[in-house]
Amino acid sequence: MADATILQAWLLSFCYFTTVMTLKMPYEFIADQTSNYVLPKLPYDYKDLEPFIDEATVRVHHLGHHAAYTKKMNIALEQWTADSEVAHSMSLAQKPILDILIGLDDVPKKYKSSIQNNGGGYVNHNFYWSVMSPNPNLDDREPVNQLGDDIVKAFGNFSNFKALFTQEALSLFGSGCYVWLSRNPIENGKLVISKTTNQDSPLTDELQPILVIDVWEHAYYIKHQNLRPKYVSDWWNLVDWSLVEEIDNWWKGPNYDYHEEL
């Protein structure tokens, strides 16, 4: 009986370990080659980002807005891949959504707007969920290692980077906006801060995004109402620089050789 109990415990531990090891982060889904993308599971529970972002907001944002972009993107991809009138573009249509957004100018005109809006919405949100983690102890978080050094090199120091990034987030007019920290592979991986409107993606501008804040009103309006500065300030408490570093390394690794194709 004791041996059976030990074996059962070992099997449960193995199954748990296997599940954890195989859990994909949301941003990894954008490199999948499929015409039926799934809404990624968040790497935390809906309530876990409190008190900085409330459970109600995360639920509506993920299960409402992000899910809608996913569904509409899949419909557009399905229609595109079945359209004999644009057979010349099938090689692009069958690539991951990541590649499609990079090559957006080559998407047939009849599908370009839908791919730009819904494919961009899918990808942008996948990055957004991936850079945050719960911070119940209110720990101060700053980048370290090579990424930390590169931020200092590009912006003088972390405080200056944070101020510049925040300024961009607060200066955006309207609600449909994002602010990004990306690598520019054309300039030897130089770090740059950029903005996009609606669901446009920095991928289309040949950038490799590693950090993003969603400044659409649906990202904060339930808790913060019209107080965007408070939302941005709270968001900084959730940025997990170890996760940002993972995304940064993902671009450089074998998962996706985008940096070699440009």
What the chain holds in terms of domains, given with CATH numbers, is 53-252 (3.55.40.20)
Candidate from 98-107, 234-243, 248-257 with smallest mean pLDDT? 248-257
Q: With cut-offs at 50, 70 and 90, classify the pLDDT of residue 176.
A: confident
Average pLDDT over residues 220-229: 94
Average pLDDT over residues 104-108: 96
pLDDT at 129 over 70: yes
Q: What is the pLDDT, as a whole number, of residue 258?
A: 44
| Nearest partner of 72 among 105, 120, 32, 30, judged by Cα | 120
Q: What is the pLDDT, as a whole number, of residue 262?
A: 38
Q: With cut-offs at 50, 70 and 90, classify the pLDDT of residue 255.
A: low
Give the three-class secondary structure for 214. strand
Q: Which pTM does this prediction carry? A: 0.88
Average pLDDT over residues 75-79: 96
For 78, other C-beta atoms within 10 Å of its C-beta total: 13
β-sheet with 177-184: strand ranges across: 190-197, 177-184, 208-214
Candidate from 11-15, 78-82, 118-122, 136-140 with smallest mean pLDDT? 11-15
Residue carrying the six token digits 């494919």: 119
d(CA 243, CA 25): 10
Binding region for Mn(2+):
61, 125, 214, 218
Give the three-class secondary structure for 200. coil
Binding region:
61, 125, 214, 218
Amino acid at 139: D
Q: With cut-offs at 50, 70 and 90, classify the pLDDT of residue 20.
A: very low
d(CA 194, CA 208): 11
Average pLDDT over residues 193-197: 96
